[in-house]
Amino acid sequence: MKKELLMASALVSTMGLASVAEAVTATMSGHHDTGLQGVDSDASATDTTSVTNNSSFSVSLSETTDGGVGIATSFMLANEGIDGGLQTAGFTLTFTDGSKIDLLNGGNAAKTHDVSVPGGAGKADGITITSTNSAQTGLDFFGEDTGIGFEWHSAADFMADGLKVSASYSADNGAAATGSVALDSSWGVGATYVTDAGDTALTIGAGLAGSIFKDSGTDPTNDSNGFHLGLSAVTGDLTVAVGYADGDKVVPGSTGNGEKEVTDNTVTKVGVKYVTGDITLSAGFTSAEGKDSDTIGTKGTSVDSTDVTDAGISYAVASGVTANLGWKNTDSSDDGTSETSGGTSWYVGASMSF
């Protein structure tokens, strides 16, 4: 018996040593934000001040084969940020020519090439727009995906210096479309071009996407589709960026917005950022309009709109530690009538990242 125990211990030790020697490379990253948020809502006579916290913790795994192909994936242990959920990646294969392909949960290629437009700082949120206002405010409000698909990314300088392109497709995951619509499949393409104009670095990003939805059988097939185009110019410490998007959006009932189809939705974003030493000043403006309809497959006629103005100051206190001061004002209109669900909010706090 003693001999068998010794053999078992040796086997376990050997397996442990082997697993360590053959382990993939793991890296960790994340952040924790904490601060005070104040809200002055047009829908309430009472101003509120509350403590707000946002945290994330993610793990990335990677390894390279003997043939030089990189294999990577990642998962999140915690994400209490804006999207409020965990993000688990599929596999990313990076090839020796610099191109790569994301398999499973790859996303939509149109979203990959959004141009970043400066805005506020910290989490100056808390203003809730009424659920009947369906105007979409992001440049990538279209371009859904089922996760069962791929996204291919070219290497740098694809066919021209400074050009990168991507393409994606996702397939039907079998989700039932009974009382509400369900996503069937999607596709997307995008490109980013980087060049210099004298002392100014220019980045141009564009994307085009379409998502097909299936329904309960009483309405025709519907889809989300659209395009976005953006330009960012960096001259020294000054960044100026603009973005525009146009398209249609299917909003399933499970989102809490009611089952709608938002058509002729447009979004315009402008922003500016200036860095001086450890201080970053930023401001942005977003204007969005869309026509919504409660009948899927039928275009709406009345216009919903949302305008957002935000500004912020960030100060690099130490390595990985940033103090933030943010402010935001939101105005909205539902079916062409000004509503009382807008207001202003502010934020003061700090972020620690690793």
Taking only the tens place, the pLDDT of each residue in 193-225 is: 999 999 999 999 999 999 988 877 555 567 889
In a domain, 14, yes or no: no
Considering just the CA atoms, what is the radius of gyration of the chain in Å? 24
Spatial CB neighbours of 57, under 8 Å, sequence gap ≥ 6 = 28, 30, 76, 77, 78, 79
The better pLDDT of the pair 59, 295 is held by 59
Is the pLDDT at 126 greater than 50? The verdict is yes
Per-residue pLDDT band at 83 (split at 50, 70, 90): low
pLDDT, average across residues 132-143:
87
pLDDT, average across residues 40-56:
81
Query: Total domain count for the chain?
Result: 1
pLDDT of residue 351: 92
Give me 52's structure tokens: 């707000």
pLDDT one-digit tens code per residue, 89-113: 788 999 999 999 999 888 899 999 9
In a domain, 64, yes or no: yes
In a domain, 266, yes or no: yes
Spatial CB neighbours of 118, under 8 Å, sequence gap ≥ 6 = 239, 241, 271, 272, 273, 282, 283, 284
In a domain, 250, yes or no: yes
pLDDT of residue 23: 84
| Residue numbers of the domain that contains 165 | 36-353
pLDDT, average across residues 106-132:
82
Per-residue pLDDT band at 339 (split at 50, 70, 90): low
Is the pLDDT at 346 greater than 70? The verdict is yes
Distance CA 259, CA 298 (A): 12
Is the pLDDT at 15 greater than 60? The verdict is no
Q: What is the pTM of this model?
A: 0.83
Which of 17-26, 198-207, 291-300 is least confident? 17-26
Distance CA 297, CA 318 (A): 53
In a domain, 302, yes or no: yes
In a domain, 256, yes or no: yes
Burial group, residue 62, by CB count within 10 angstroms (0-12, 13-18, 19+): middle
In a domain, 131, yes or no: yes
pLDDT, average across residues 145-155:
93
pLDDT, average across residues 112-139:
81
- Residue 320: CATH number of its domain: 2.40.160.10
The better pLDDT of the pair 18, 250 is held by 250
Spatial contact of 269 and 240, defined as CB atoms under 8 Å apart: no
Distance CA 65, CA 73 (A): 14
Token pair 């203003």: residue: 127
Spatial contact of 36 and 51, defined as CB atoms under 8 Å apart: yes
pLDDT of residue 11: 36
Per-residue pLDDT band at 340 (split at 50, 70, 90): low
Distance CA 208, CA 229 (A): 9
pLDDT of residue 353: 93
Distance CA 328, CA 126 (A): 10
Please report how many Cα atoms fall inside a 13 Å half-sphere around the Cα of residue 185, on the Cβ side: 8
Helix H, strand E, coil C: the string for the chain is: CHHHHHHHHHHHHHHHHHHHHCCCEEEEEEEEEEEEEEEEECCCCCCEEEEEEEEEEEEEEEEECCCCCEEEEEEEEEECCCCCCCCCCCEEEECCCCCEEEECCCCCHHHHCCCCCCCCCCCCCCCCCCCCCCCCCCCCCCCCCCCCEEEEECCCCCCCCCEEEEEEEECCCCCCCCCCCEEEEEEEEEEEEEEEECCEEEEEEEEEEEEEEECCCCCCCEEEEEEEEEEEEEECCEEEEEEEEEEEEEECHHHCCCCEEEEEEEEEEEEEEEEECCEEEEEEEEEEEEEEECCCCCCCCCEEEEEEEEEEEEEEEECCEEEEEEEEEEEEEECCEECCCCEEEEEEEEEEEC
pLDDT of residue 285: 96
Pick from 272, 301, 275, 274: nearest CA to 289: 301
pLDDT of residue 261: 78
Is the pLDDT at 8 greater than 80? The verdict is no
pLDDT of residue 70: 95
Is the pLDDT at 287 greater than 70? The verdict is yes
Mean pLDDT estimate for the chain: 84
Token pair 């185009």: residue: 229
pLDDT of residue 79: 73
Give me 32's structure tokens: 């924790």
Is the pLDDT at 13 greater than 70? The verdict is no
The better pLDDT of the pair 182, 180 is held by 182
pLDDT of residue 335: 75
* 81 alpha carbon, distance to own chain's centre: 11
Per-residue pLDDT band at 313 (split at 50, 70, 90): very high
The better pLDDT of the pair 166, 261 is held by 166
